[in-house]
């Protein structure tokens, strides 16, 4: 049975034993977070959500298709992540979101950038999935040195606001859990700045003294000037870190099937439709376009990346009245140009009228 979300889905695993990914020599990813000196060295840390941004677990229907698109859904794009937790073995089958391998090639090509996986899934799953994605990027023409140029953060590294309810009033808890941002696991980017071990100590002190990790926008903006979060669900955002967020569309498979677009224009969704079919099929094209543009400004102007991200896209997702303006289309076009440096055959993922012939 394929488990997606529910009582057991907190682990993000599957009990099915589907198609296995290519075997690679096991390389254990870095276990630590950045040290404070590294965080101030000018290296930009890009923390990236996993589920529904880099990967999808909606694999069952894809496996029923007679043939799949060879550009986006070849065998290498299907990963069976095997891990152990609490003396139990698990398997979860994933498919990479279009452009995932090329996106990581782009990130690693930036000498002043360090990618990090940051998912609220369990650490054992995230470590193995992250390793597999990086190995695919290396196999596509990357450097073996990339194995030591990324980090993995997980549920265990999130700020759990539910734990506070046993120690503080509801009003005090809302300082960490705004009413419009649901979900108790918050991806506090200060964890990356301080390092995992130090942050965990600070978190444990916070349950007794809220001032330890109370949001401080002015102070936090300074220490987080080189750390950003790519996420498809803003409820994981820690209060006061809105400018550090590059919000992407939530990935959804195009219906009835996914094909590699054959045109050189940029398809545009019907503005009157509530479905962002094109945008939701290509979140990593959007992310690549925004990052390429923002990094160019960052290097030319010497301004912090969070400030630039806010000017380019932040105010659009933050203002709920501007919902239809989210995810400017020109960034998808720019992102395609970026990702094609690594795979000239790559184009947007769009809906086909029938199964791939």
Q: What is the pLDDT of residues 242-281, one digit of tens each?
A: 999 999 999 999 988 999 999 999 998 766 665 668 999 9
Model confidence at 354, pLDDT cuts 50, 70, 90, reads low
How confident is residue 173, by pLDDT bands cut at 50, 70 and 90?
A: confident
pLDDT band at 157 (very low <50, low <70, confident <90, very high): very high
pLDDT at 323: 81
* Distance from C-alpha of 1 to C-alpha of 9, rounded to nearest angstrom: 12
The answer to which of 127-131, 134-138, 253-257 has the lowest mean pLDDT is 253-257
- Tell me what pLDDT residue 13 has: 39
Per-residue pLDDT band at 135 (split at 50, 70, 90) = very high
pLDDT band at 33 (very low <50, low <70, confident <90, very high): very low
pLDDT at site 325: 87
Q: Where are the domains positioned within the chain?
A: 9-352
* 281 within 8 A of 254, measured Cβ to Cβ: yes
CATH tag, 9-352? 3.40.50.1000
Average pLDDT, integer, range 45-63: 96
User: Is pLDDT of 16 > 80?
Assistant: no
pLDDT average, residue stretch 294-312: 96
For the stretch 100-126, pLDDT in tens is 999 999 999 999 999 999 999 999 999
Q: What are the residues facing 246 on neighbouring strands?
A: 230
Q: What is the pLDDT of residue 32?
A: 42
Q: What pLDDT is stored for residue 22 in this prediction?
A: 33
SS3 label, residue 272: coil
> Cβ(133)–Cβ(147) under 8 Å?
no
Mean of all residue pLDDT scores within the chain? 87
How do 151-153 and 55-56 pair as beta strands? unpaired
**3-state SS assignment for residue 232:** coil
Name the nearest CA neighbour of 292 among 326, 254, 248, 334.
Answer: 334
Q: What is the pLDDT of residues 211-228, one digit of tens each?
A: 999 999 999 999 999 999
DSSP 140-175: TT--GGGGGS-EEE-GGGSEEGGGGGGTS-HHHHTT
Q: How far apart are CA 14 and CA 331, in angstroms?
A: 34
Which range, of 194-198, 231-235, 258-262, 314-318, averages the lowest pLDDT?
314-318
Overall average pLDDT of the 340-344 stretch: 99
pLDDT of residue 21: 34
């Amino acid at each position: 049975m394929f488990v997606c979300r529910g009582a057991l889905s907190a682990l993000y695993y599957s009990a099915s034993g589907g198609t296995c990914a290519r075997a690679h020599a096991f390389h254990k990813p870095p276990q630590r977070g950045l040290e404070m000196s590294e965080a101030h060295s000018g290296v930009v840390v890009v923390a990236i959500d996993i589920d529904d941004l880099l990967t999808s677990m909606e694999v069952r229907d894809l496996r029923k298709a007679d043939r799949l698109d060879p550009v986006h859904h070849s065998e290498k794009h299907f990963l069976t992540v095997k891990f152990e937790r609490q003396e139990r073995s698990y398997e979860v089958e994933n498919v990479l979101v279009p452009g995932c391998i090329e996106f990581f090639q782009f990130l690693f090509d930036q000498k002043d950038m360090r990618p990090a996986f940051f998912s609220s899934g369990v650490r054992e799953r995230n470590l193995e999935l992250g390793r597999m994605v990086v190995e695919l990027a290396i196999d596509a023409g990357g450097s073996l040195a990339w194995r030591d140029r990324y980090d993995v953060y997980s549920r265990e590294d999130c700020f759990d606001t539910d734990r506070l309810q046993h120690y503080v009033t509801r009003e005090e808890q809302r300082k960490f859990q705004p009413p419009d941002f649901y979900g108790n696991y918050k991806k506090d980017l200060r964890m990356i700045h301080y390092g995992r071990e130090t942050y965990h100590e600070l978190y444990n002190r916070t349950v007794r003294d809220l001032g330890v990790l109370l949001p401080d926008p002015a102070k936090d903006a300074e220490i987080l000037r080189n750390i950003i979060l790519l996420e498809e669900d803003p409820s994981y955002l820690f209060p006061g870190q809105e400018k550090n967020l590059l919000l992407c569309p939530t990935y959804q498979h195009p219906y009835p099937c996914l094909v590699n677009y054959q045109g050189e224009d940029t398809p545009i969704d019907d503005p009157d439709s509530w479905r962002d079919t094109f945008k939701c099929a290509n979140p990593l094209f959007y992310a690549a376009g925004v990052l390429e543009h923002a990094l160019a400004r960052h290097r030319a102007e010497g301004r912090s990346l969070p400030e630039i991200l806010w000017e380019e896209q932040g105010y659009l997702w933050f203002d709920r009245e501007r919902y239809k303006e989210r995810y400017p289309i020109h960034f998808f076009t720019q992102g395609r140009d970026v990702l094609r440096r690594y795979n000239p055959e790559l184009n947007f993922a769009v809906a086909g009228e029938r199964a791939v012939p």
